[in-house]
Amino acid sequence: MLLHNLHLALRAPIVVTDLRTAEMIKYASNAFLATRISFINEIANICEALGADVKEVAQGMGYDRRIGHHFLEPGVGYGGSCFPKDVKALSYMAQVNGTHPELLQAVMGINDTQRRQIVIKLQDVLGDLSGKTIGMLGLAFKENTDDIRESPSLQIAAMLNDLGVNVRGYDPVAAENVERASPYITLCKDPYELARGCDALVVATPWNEFKSLDMAQICAEMKQPVLIDGRNLYDGRQMIAMGFTYRGVGRGFKGTMQGTDGQGNDANK
């Protein structure tokens, strides 16, 4: 009763249940949200193969009141302190108690695949990545935080580092944490310094700051204007018109102004 009265001011539903069920509500809620993210990411990959635009697909799906628009943003997958931990924990509890959490396993597998898809896109455009310089635009696991736990950006950066890439990074608030956790990432003071001399940029965290960048200047600063938009932050066709080789997530078109030879050079010359 004391806890009930304490929460009355929140004017939210109060569920009174046993400890095990309360624990399961928390795990199941986070696992369901993670499942929505992995579902739309799988749809995004299918859209790329079929030539559909996942942003329009997600918008259309969301108008169905049974589905809604929340957590239907395709990208580089979920991260942070809750979703990865809770999905893994629920899957483990299921297995040790004799059930078979196929869906949870698939959710985690798709999430890992989304990180690898960014590397594959880079290889598709640039060919061998060894010795290339690639900038990570955003390092926190999501915007408006300095939290880098299970950050998709850092996991992608680690894969690139293993391939011999010179990895640069910029984040408005997470730089200090990244410096301790991933010292191989060369940190830059702003996005324009990050872009200077880069072979590609990867948009990994959808900070509002990034939406108002002078993208023409970003393009001019780069050695090769390759933009891998892991958050579909930009209008792909506008970026192409500026001169970028653009790849989004599930956007259904190959974002190049002209053919390339696998090394970022004009194949028509």
State the catalytic residues: 82
**Tokens coding 225:** 């204007």
CA angle 257, 261, 262 (to 5 degrees): 100
> What is the distance between the alpha carbons of residues 78 and 150, in angstroms, rounded to a whole number?
8
Distance CA 256, CA 240 (A): 6
Residue whose structure tokens are 């926190």: 140
Which amino acid belongs to residue 160?
L
Phi/psi of residue 266, each to 5°? -65, 115
Two tokens, residue 267: 């194949």
Q: How far apart are the first and last CA of the chain?
A: 77
Q: What is the DSSP letter of 255?
A: B
Rounded to whole angstroms, the Cα distance separating 155 from 153 reads 5
b/e 107-136 (16+ beta carbons within 10 angstroms → b): bbebbeebbebbbebbeebbeebeebbbbb
State the Cα–Cα distance between residues 32 and 48, nearest whole angstrom: 25
Residue with tokens 């984040």: 171
